[in-house]
């Protein structure tokens, strides 16, 4: 039975680094996806988070890291384990909305803090919000809303929109339509995990649309973008950053050039924190950071800023310290709205080639100080 | 809905069917000849795609990449066959299912260990990119026509191999009477290794070819595996003709279902819920097809009666 | 006492011992894992009836596991939201009582299993494996994309359901309930396989013609076995939903079917204690290998391969020796 207690050894990293100490140690449990098809996102969040922890050198911060294998049941059991056995004060790390929906309500229900470095399902922003739940990335609809707003400013009148047939896909299309003032020429839900888009592309061509908005995360987006380029449809593509982040762009290649996508972060946002982050991330891990890495980095710095102000044992004070969001974000200005979700600028980026590297460049701001649509429903 | 759009969707369905046949060809060969359920077929498909992407990136040549995909998958096939599969022919299907299920775990995480967690770049060379005009005013991507060509070539090649060559003769003999062919002095072990390697190479080639227009990423083989099984079970196990017909049937059903069902529901509900409900049902359609075929023909369309 | 019964009891004692160790040593995660092992063992015991004793290799038992889970999730979340589960054709109210939920889960699994069984049993061999997989995939895609009940996000109900007014959020209490259910299921199974029905099932697997000659239709025997098997796995699904206070389509995926199959084979096909041994060993491997490397699933795969190649008859087979009647 010894093995159960020693499983932490490699996957979980307990950090002890020299630093100016404040009285109360904080134990963090990070549940994220480190194996299988979605591992790239989890690894980026983890690396961004741990980079900030390393730079802060705060020896009162202990981090346990575990792999959820992208399985909601495993994530729930890991959360139970971390709460019961590791006595964590703060949980973080989950990438996927369905895993967050499984873990977060139970965790905050037990008085733990949860800092979301990625998923922001609408249920947790509205009626299901909680005083101990903080989202450091975005509410799921945000980037799609920004895409709708951007489509207005460019004068697109008829948009063809598509997303996978699951809750986050429906949120995406709802978000886009919430801001887009033109006409929807066609609306399609594709199968989750679909890899061939000939039937959809044929309908796009026949629809008479003047732009295409799509939300197809991961491999689905890679496949769609490549096949779309091969089909020479010619209509401009708009999407959220997820299909065009640094981890995926390399795989899409030239087919992505010129695509406009919306993001709360990019590596060329001009502030000291961001410059230092991009440089140190590259030095540490030998690759360009993605938006997920920036979100992990910001999450850790938010936590560190709260630790410097209050003891985690005093939940009210610690919560107030988190709410203040008194840290230097890679996004520049950062503050929380009433439902503990970010109020932030969302940019429009264009996929460009810098030398041999395909990457993003900011070309404008889609929405300024943007909050989410659910804040009013949240009663804390 | 115009007639031209419907015709194009039908073509898309046929094309998707041929693509499914390319994905399933290796599986149907191994399944048919050796009676082996190889769940690791999708892993060999993934391996081929990764090998092609790595070599194409290093050399800049897509053709070398394709060669690498064939070689890598075939070598992996020989290793897997001699080390593991060989010991399972005499066992029931259950042990084969579990052993090849275990192989999926090894291949998936092994590939991630070797190539990293991020999707790789693999694109068609410029000569194969772009679209062509078809009669009837349809512009059609060249790569889709290419896949139709490759699919037909593989179907013809397999047909000739099984029916016209010495190896094929032995394969057919082994299929019908394993003891007799061994008694006649044919090294059945070597024959099976060759067939398995050939099946693996076909899986690898499919991975490289299809991967170049989809995503080369960890886990890319699993949806392919399930689809390939649907195809060969609908067609009837062991029949190359059956696999081809099954693939076309599945491809057309899936494509037209995705296209028509949301429109059909659009007649009775608002557009947004119609596309949601319609595509929910469309995603189940090929499994409904498979169940229906098996209910009426328990050994598939072209399978030998049990 | 038969040697196999002794092994089964020993395995149960070991599982109980692990949980007691966690209870005493104040390591609740060990208790949670033990509860998970007990639930997986129930699911495996269900499959074992069809796969082991009946020779019906179902690659679609995730369908029943998931149906049981969704039955629990839907009823419990309806009760928590003070809404009826359905109003037509009859009004059914939600409930947070475990026995009620178990019964509904078992009945739901039965209702699904009867048509699946009738269709699937028309085929045989590899086709049976594939058609059961097809039915499970149908339900999986339905659950992912159907808007009600959360789609891919799944359905949370936050607090475990209750029985006898006990506090189920306490890991130890929940473990004892799961363990009790496992013991009852295994006892039933032991009686079942030695009953007239069990003998008929055995004969249907080995010599269907002889069974027909004695006036029993093999189809009926197989269908009964398949449906009972599904009902037990459905019960396990309801328990698993309660363990996590959450259900999602992941429970219906073909990976879950594969895993339930692995429990049975790892432990020993057509062995009473097989699923218990298999589930415990699988979780133990998962937990220990996880600590060795990020790529621990490679090691898990290799261990599974070694078991299939060299330990035929699984863990119980190794301990009890091979049985002449099997294979």
Tokens of C234: 């459905």
Interface B-C: count of C-beta contacts within 8 A:
135
Same domain, A68 and A184: no
pLDDT category, C325, cuts 50, 70, 90? very low
A-chain residue closest to C26, CA distance: A85
A-chain residue closest to B284, CA distance: A191
Judge: C127–B233 Cβ closer than 8 Å, yes or no: yes
Instruction: Tell me which chain A residues have a C-beta less than 8 angstroms from the C-beta of C22.
Output: 1
Nearest to C30 by CA among A109, A84, A106: A84
pLDDT at A21: 42
pLDDT at A16: 40
Q: From the CB of residue A272, how many other CB atoms can be counted at a distance below 10 Å?
A: 9
Distance CA B241, CA B73 (A): 24
Nearest to C71 by CA among C290, C208, C230, C273: C230
Task: Say if CB B55 and CB B208 are below 8 A apart.
Answer: no
Q: Is C149 on the interface with B (CB under 8 A)?
A: no
Q: What is the share, in percent, of chain C residues with pLDDT greater than 70?
A: 97
Judge: A11–C32 Cβ closer than 8 Å, yes or no: no
* Average pLDDT, rounded, for chain C: 89
Distance CA C36, CA C15 (A): 11
pLDDT at A3: 39
A-chain residue closest to C19, CA distance: A1
Alpha helix (H) ranges present in chain B?
Answer: 3-34, 41-59, 62-83, 93-115, 142-164, 166-176, 178-183, 188-211, 221-235, 240-266, 271-296
Judge: A106–C245 Cβ closer than 8 Å, yes or no: yes
Same domain, A93 and A15: yes
How near does any CA of chain B get to the CA of C138, in Å?
5
Task: Say if CB A95 and CB A41 are below 8 A apart.
Answer: yes
Q: Would you call the peptide bond into A79 cis, given omega within 30 degrees of 0 as the criterion?
A: no
* ∠ Cα A157 A163 A168 (to 5°): 120
Judge: A222–B129 Cβ closer than 8 Å, yes or no: no
* Range of the structural domain that residue A242 is part of: 142-263+345-377
The number of CA neighbours under 13 Å toward the Cβ of A46 is 22
Nearest to B42 by CA among B262, B304, B219, B235: B219
Task: Say if CB A78 and CB A68 are below 8 A apart.
Answer: yes
Same domain, A353 and A324: no
Distance CA C227, CA C42 (A): 15
C283: CB partners within 8 A, 6+ apart: C33, C36, C37, C40
pLDDT at C321: 73
Does the pLDDT at position A20 exceed 70?
A: no
pLDDT category, C166, cuts 50, 70, 90? confident
Looking at the partner chain, which of C22, C154, C288 has a beta carbon nearest the beta carbon of A7? C288
Which position has the token pair 């309806």? C78
Instruction: Tell me which chain B residues have a C-beta less than 8 angstroms from the C-beta of A173.
Output: 272
Same domain, A132 and A182: no
Nearest to B271 by CA among A160, A201, A198: A160
B-chain residue closest to C148, CA distance: B277
Query: pTM, whole model, 2 decimals?
Result: 0.90
Instruction: Tell me which chain C residues have a C-beta less than 8 angstroms from the C-beta of A125.
Output: none
Instruction: Tell me which chain B residues have a C-beta less than 8 angstroms from the C-beta of C125.
Output: 93, 306
Residues in chain B predicted with pLDDT less than 50, given as ranges, are none
Judge: A223–B131 Cβ closer than 8 Å, yes or no: no
Q: Is B292 on the interface with C (CB under 8 A)?
A: no
Does the pLDDT at position A370 exceed 50?
A: yes
Distance CA B114, CA B109 (A): 9
Describe the crossing of helices B41-59 and B188-211 by its angle, rounded to 10 degrees.
Answer: 60
Looking at the partner chain, which of B97, B110, B300 has a beta carbon nearest the beta carbon of C261? B97
Same domain, A27 and A170: no
Average pLDDT, integer, range C228-246 = 95
B145: CB partners within 8 A, 6+ apart: B132
Distance CA C165, CA A359 (A): 59
Task: Say if CB C313 and CB C322 are below 8 A apart.
Answer: yes
Does the pLDDT at position A258 exceed 60?
A: yes
Same domain, A242 and A361: yes
pLDDT category, A15, cuts 50, 70, 90? very low
Same domain, A152 and A167: yes
| Model confidence pLDDT, tens digit, residues C81-116 | 777 777 666 677 778 888 899 999 999 999 999 999
Looking at the partner chain, which of A73, A170, A191 has a beta carbon nearest the beta carbon of C244? A73
Q: Please give the distance of CA C75 from its chain centroid, rounded to a whole number.
A: 20
The number of CA neighbours under 13 Å toward the Cβ of B77 is 31
Average pLDDT, integer, range C150-168 = 81
Same domain, A132 and A168: no
Tell me which long-range contacts C202-211 makes (C-beta under 8 A, separation of at least 24): C202/C53, C202/C325, C204/C54, C204/C55, C205/C53, C205/C54, C205/C55
pLDDT category, C1, cuts 50, 70, 90? low
* Count of domains forming chain A: 2
Nearest to B96 by CA among B182, B181, B35: B35
C76: CB partners within 8 A, 6+ apart: C94, C95, C96, C101, C157, C161, C241, C242
- The more confidently predicted of residues C148 and A288 is A288
Judge: A231–B139 Cβ closer than 8 Å, yes or no: yes
Q: Is B276 on the interface with C (CB under 8 A)?
A: yes
- CATH number of the domain encompassing residue A355: 3.40.50.2300
Instruction: Tell me which chain B residues have a C-beta less than 8 angstroms from the C-beta of C137.
Output: 226, 284, 287
Same domain, A274 and A152: no
Interface A-C: count of C-beta contacts within 8 A:
110
Looking at the partner chain, which of B88, B98, B295 has a beta carbon nearest the beta carbon of C119? B295
Burial-class residue C216 by CB neighbours within 10 Å (0-12, 13-18, 19+): middle
Does the pLDDT at position A17 exceed 70?
A: no
Does the pLDDT at position C2 exceed 90?
A: no
B-chain residue closest to C138, CA distance: B284
C106: CB partners within 8 A, 6+ apart: C68, C231, C234, C235, C238
- The more confidently predicted of residues A183 and B95 is A183
* Average pLDDT, rounded, for chain A: 90
Same domain, A220 and A252: yes
Mutate to test the interface with B, among A46, A207, A222, A351 (most CBs of B within 10 A): A222
Same domain, A131 and A276: yes
Q: From the CB of residue C191, how many other CB atoms can be counted at a distance below 10 Å?
A: 11
Q: Which of A152-166, A332-346, B82-96 has the lowest mean pLDDT?
A: B82-96
C-contacting residues in B 84-143 (Cβ below 8 Å): 84, 87-88, 92-95, 97-99, 101-106, 108-110, 112-113
Write phi, then psi, for A268 (nearest 5 degrees).
-100, 10
Question: What does DSSP assign to residue C50?
Answer: I
Distance CA C261, CA C239 (A): 18
Distance CA B188, CA B194 (A): 10
pLDDT at C295: 86
| Model confidence pLDDT, tens digit, residues A279-304 | 999 999 999 999 999 999 999 999 99
Instruction: Tell me which chain C residues have a C-beta less than 8 angstroms from the C-beta of A81.
Output: 29, 32
Beta bridge partners of B287: none
Determine if residue B299 is left, alpha or beta; phi over 0 gives left, psi from -120 to 50 gives alpha, anything else beta: alpha
Looking at the partner chain, which of A5, A72, A165 has a beta carbon nearest the beta carbon of C246? A72
| Model confidence pLDDT, tens digit, residues C191-227 | 999 999 999 999 999 888 899 998 899 999 999 999 9
A230: CB partners within 8 A, 6+ apart: A255, B124, B129, B130, B131, B141, B142, B143, B213
Q: Is B114 on the interface with A (CB under 8 A)?
A: no
Same domain, A224 and A352: yes
């Amino acid at each position: 039975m010894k093995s159960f207690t020693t499983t932490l050894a490699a996957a979980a990293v307990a950090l002890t680094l020299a630093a100016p100490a404040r009285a109360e140690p904080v134990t963090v449990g990070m549940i994220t996806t480190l194996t299988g098809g979605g591992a790239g996102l989890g690894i980026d969040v983890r690396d961004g988070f741990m980079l900030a922890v390393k730079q802060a050198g705060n020896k009162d911060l202990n981090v346990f890291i575990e792999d959820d294998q992208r399985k909601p049941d495993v994530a729930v059991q890991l959360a139970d384990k971390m709460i019961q056995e590791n006595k964590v004060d703060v949980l973080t790390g989950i990438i996927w909305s369905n895993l967050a929906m499984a873990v977060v309500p139970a965790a905050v229900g037990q008085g733990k803090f949860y800092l979301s470095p990625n998923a922001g399902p609408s249920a947790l922003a509205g009626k299901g919000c909680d005083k101990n739940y903080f989202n450091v990335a975005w509410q799921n609809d945000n980037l799609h809303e920004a895409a709708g707003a951007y489509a207005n400013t460019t004068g697109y009148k008829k948009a063809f929109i598509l997303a996978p047939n699951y809750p986050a896909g429906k949120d995406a299309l709802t978000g886009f339509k919430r801001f887009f003032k033109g006409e929807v020429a066609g609306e399609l839900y594709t199968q989750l995990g679909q890899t061939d888009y000939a039937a959809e592309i044929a309908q796009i061509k026949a629809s008479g649309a003047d732009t295409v908005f799509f939300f197809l995360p991961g491999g689905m987006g890679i496949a769609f973008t490549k096949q779309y380029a091969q089909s020479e449809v010619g209509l401009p593509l708009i999407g959220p950053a997820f299909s065009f982040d640094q981890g995926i762009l390399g795989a899409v290649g030239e087919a992505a050039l010129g695509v406009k996508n919306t993001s709360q972060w990019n590596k060329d946002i001009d502030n000291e924190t961001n410059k230092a982050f991009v440089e140190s991330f590259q030095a540490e891990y030998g690759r360009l950071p993605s938006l997920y890495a920036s979100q992990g980095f910001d999450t850790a710095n938010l936590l560190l800023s709260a630790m410097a102000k209050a003891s985690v044992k005093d939940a009210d004070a610690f919560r107030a310290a988190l709410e203040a969001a008194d840290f230097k974000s890679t996004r520049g200005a950062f503050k929380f709205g009433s439902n503990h979700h970010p109020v932030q600028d969302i940019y429009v980026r264009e996929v460009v080639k810098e030398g041999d590297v395909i990457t993003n460049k900011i070309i404008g701001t889609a929405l300024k100080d943007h909050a989410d649509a659910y804040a009013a429903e949240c009663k804390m | 809905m115009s007639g031209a759009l419907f015709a194009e969707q039908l073509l898309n369905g046929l094309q998707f069917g041929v693509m499914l046949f390319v994905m399933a060809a290796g599986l149907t060969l191994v399944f048919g000849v050796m009676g082996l359920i190889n769940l690791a077929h999708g892993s060999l498909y993934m391996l081929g795609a990764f090998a092609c992407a790595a070599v194409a990136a290093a050399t800049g040549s897509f053709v070398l990449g394709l060669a690498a995909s064939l070689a890598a998958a075939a070598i992996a096939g020989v290793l897997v066959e001699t080390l593991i599969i060989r010991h399972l022919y005499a066992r029931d299907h259950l042990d084969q299912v579990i052993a090849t299920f275990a192989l999926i775990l090894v291949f998936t995480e092994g590939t991630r260990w070797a190539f990293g967690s991020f999707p790789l770049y693999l694109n068609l060379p410029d000569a194969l990119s772009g679209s062509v005009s078809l009669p009837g005013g349809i512009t059609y991507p060249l790569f889709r026509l290419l896949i139709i060509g490759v699919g037909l070539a593989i179907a013809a090649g397999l047909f000739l191999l099984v029916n016209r060559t010495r190896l094929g003769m032995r394969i057919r003999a082994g299929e019908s009477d394993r003891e007799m062919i061994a008694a006649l002095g044919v090294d059945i072990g070597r024959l099976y290794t060759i067939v398995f390697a050939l099946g693996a190479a076909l899986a690898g080639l499919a991975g490289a070819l299809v991967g170049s227009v989809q995503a080369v990423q960890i886990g890319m083989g699993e949806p392919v595996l399930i689809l390939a099984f649907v195809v060969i079970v609908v067609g009837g196990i062991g029949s190359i003709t059956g696999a081809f017909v099954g693939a076309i049937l599945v491809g057309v059903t899936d494509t037209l279902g995705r296209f028509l069902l949301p429109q059909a529901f659009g007649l009775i509900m608002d557009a947004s819920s119609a596309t949601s409900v319609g595509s929910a049902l469309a995603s189940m359609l090929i499994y409904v097809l498979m169940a229906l075929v098996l209910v009426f023909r328990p050994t598939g369309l072209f399978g030998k009666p049990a | 006492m038969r040697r196999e019964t002794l092994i089964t009891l020993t395995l149960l004692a070991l599982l109980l011992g692990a949980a007691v160790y966690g209870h005493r040593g104040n390591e609740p995660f060990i208790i949670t894992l033990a509860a998970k092992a007990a639930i997986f063992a129930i699911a495996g015991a269900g499959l074992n009836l069809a796969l082991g004793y009946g020779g019906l290799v179902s690659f679609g038992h995730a369908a029943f596991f998931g149906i049981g889970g969704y039955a629990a999730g839907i009823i419990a979340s309806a009760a928590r939201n003070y809404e009826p589960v359905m109003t037509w054709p009859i009004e059914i109210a939600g409930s947070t009582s475990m026995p009620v939920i178990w019964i509904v889960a078992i009945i739901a699994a039965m209702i699904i299993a009867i048509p699946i069984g009738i269709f699937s049993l028309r085929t045989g061999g590899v086709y049976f494996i594939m058609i059961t997989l097809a039915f499970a995939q149908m339900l999986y895609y339905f659950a992912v994309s159907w808007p009600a009940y959360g789609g891919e996000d799944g359905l949370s109900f936050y607090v475990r359901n209750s029985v006898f007014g006990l506090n189920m959020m306490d890991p130890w209490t929940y473990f004892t309930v799961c363990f009790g259910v496992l013991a009852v299921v295994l006892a039933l199974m032991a009686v079942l396989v030695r009953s007239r029905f069990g003998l008929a099932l055995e004969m249907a697997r080995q010599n269907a013609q002889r069974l027909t000659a004695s006036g029993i239709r093999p189809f009926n025997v197989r269908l009964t076995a398949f449906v009972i098997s599904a009902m037990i796995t459905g019960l396990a699904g309801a328990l698993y939903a309660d363990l996590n206070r959450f259900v999602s389509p992941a429970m219906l995926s073909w990976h879950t079917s594969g895993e339930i199959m692995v429990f049975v084979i790892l432990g020993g096909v057509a062995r009473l204690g097989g699923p218990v041994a298999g589930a415990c060993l699988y979780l133990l491997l998962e937990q220990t290998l996880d600590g060795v490397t990020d790529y621990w699933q490679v090691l898990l795969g290799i261990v599974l391969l070694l078991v299939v190649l060299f330990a035929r008859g699984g863990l119980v087979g190794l301990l009890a020796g091979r049985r002449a009647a099997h294979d």
